[in-house]
A and B are shown apart, each in its own frame.
Chain A
């Protein structure tokens, strides 16, 4: 009973209060300036009916998926390598530290110059946003593998390959998972930026396009959908994490 109250009723009540407040406040402004929730819902319906919405969502998800996968398959191996070989890490760390604070958005002009307009610059920006969190957490999880795991492995005479694949990688896995998680967040946030800047499609473009026609209701519709989809992806990730965590024997 208490669980239902805390996990369902309480959030729903807050949401309802928020929507109500929004509706009331919006009533004092012209809808072109500050659309009410009802206007936004209408806009969503309209966009969905003429199919624009679904195409854009599909395109955005595809871009995000491609960029995220690209980040995963590059950052994890690199992170495992740098975490294992301290010398290489020391050598490359200053470079990472300088590049990392540069916002992925700052890469945009160069990205367009190099890759032209279209999917590539947006994918590149999302890739950058997801790359660093995965890389850094992978490095640190490899470096913080408990020494006793390695002692046991060397005591039993396990070779370098077995120690790496059967001890270091699984021991670092829960930490890497945290990085994958963070990267979903940062990647998704930069999706909108990436699509606003150069793309001719996708949710980010949809928002910019709506601005050009002063359709505030469509702008908000786009924002709301970005938020909801982000939440859905995050939840999906949590579920996958839970399943893997149970297999790994690290569930709490």
Chain B
């Protein structure tokens, strides 16, 4: 294990037993090191185990074999220092925006006045100072996801896990939130693991893009996106990386489709 790795996957394998008792390998013998403060994107065809992998890292699931090591310790349970952001936000509808952001601080028993201060600061960071007393059902999808990001930021986690956080949003909101997330990342420098099925999003955000392949879930390739942030999506170099990733992706897709044909 490299000393400076923040997150380190050592021979991680995950098998599920289906209802009929058949064993299925969702992830097979996976190794990956992620540096502190790095922004890593996971992409790959549906069913290749992206969600499974991020759930393992976040401690929601345990690997069948191998281990996930974060900060030198084996991760076996969810940890308030590693916050997961879900596609469907996971906000509590009975709490206001402020109440939702306060949740993590209350769980940590932060004194009320201090918690309020931190929550308001986090909401300010995501540009929601004007909506603190609204309920989630009064907000747009993009605003809801910002609340969930603010809720995470309020507890100052060193790692953010994001599983297709912007997938349910329209293209405009998505681009906007991508830029916001980059701004916050540059300001706070958490380690971010970001799952997406949008290749452009992966190139726009990730310092590294991990391309996964299915059956069994594994890492196909790791692409280093050597472009400085903020990135210009219309720039020539952006297009070069984009082309590279698309070609790899099509290869993975074709192989997966052929494998599926053989198995029929």
A→B interface (CB under 8 Å): 148-149, 151-159, 162, 166-167, 170-171, 173, 247-250
Find out whether the CB atom of A157 lies under 8 angstroms from the CB atom of B80: yes
Candidates B86, B95, B107; contact of A162 at CB < 8 Å: B107
Top 7 A-B pairs ranked by shortest CB distance? A249-B135, A158-B107, A156-B104, A157-B80, A148-B90, A156-B107, A152-B90
Find out whether the CB atom of A155 lies under 8 angstroms from the CB atom of B78: yes
**B84 nearest in chain A by CB position:** A155
Find out whether the CB atom of A151 lies under 8 angstroms from the CB atom of B90: yes
Bound: A158/B104 CA distance, A: 8
B47 at the interface (CB under 8 A from A): no
Q: Which residues of A contact B135 (CB under 8 A)?
A: 249
- Most B CB atoms within 10 A — which of A162, A249, A250? A249
Interface residues on B, range: 20 to 34
- Shortest CB-to-CB span from A98 to chain B, Å, is 30
Find out whether the CB atom of B86 lies under 8 angstroms from the CB atom of A249: no
Bound: A156/B90 CA distance, A: 12
Q: Which residues of B contact A173 (CB under 8 A)?
A: 94
B→A interface (CB under 8 Å): 58, 60, 77-80, 82-84, 86, 88, 90, 92-96, 103-104, 106-108, 135-138, 155
Q: Which residues of B contact A151 (CB under 8 A)?
A: 60, 78, 84, 86, 90
Find out whether the CB atom of B137 lies under 8 angstroms from the CB atom of A155: no
Apart from A148-B86, A153-B107, 20 more pairs, CB < 8 Å: A151-B60, A151-B84, A152-B92, A155-B79, A155-B82, A156-B80, A156-B103, A157-B78, A157-B80, A157-B104, A158-B103, A158-B106, A158-B107, A166-B103, A170-B94, A247-B94, A248-B94, A249-B135, A249-B137, A250-B137
Q: Which residues of B contact A155 (CB under 8 A)?
A: 58, 78-80, 82-84
Q: Which residues of A contact B77 (CB under 8 A)?
A: 154
Find out whether the CB atom of A156 lies under 8 angstroms from the CB atom of B94: no
Bound: A96/B82 CA distance, A: 42
Find out whether the CB atom of B93 lies under 8 angstroms from the CB atom of A162: no
- Shortest CB-to-CB span from A202 to chain B, Å, is 39
- Most B CB atoms within 10 A — which of A155, A170, A171? A155
Bound: A151/B137 CA distance, A: 20
- Shortest CB-to-CB span from B221 to chain A, Å, is 30
Q: Which residues of B contact A152 (CB under 8 A)?
A: 84, 86, 90, 92, 103
Q: Which residues of A contact B92 (CB under 8 A)?
A: 149, 152, 167, 170-171
Bound: A167/B107 CA distance, A: 11
Candidates B83, B90, B94; contact of A250 at CB < 8 Å: B94
Bound: A155/B152 CA distance, A: 10
**B77 nearest in chain A by CB position:** A154
- Most A CB atoms within 10 A — which of B93, B107, B137? B107
Q: A151-B84, A152-B90, A173-B94 are in contact. Are A162 and B106 (CB under 8 A)?
A: yes
**A162 nearest in chain B by CB position:** B107
Bound: A171/B95 CA distance, A: 10
**B104 nearest in chain A by CB position:** A156
Q: A162-B107, A173-B94, A249-B136 are in contact. Are A156 and B83 (CB under 8 A)?
A: yes
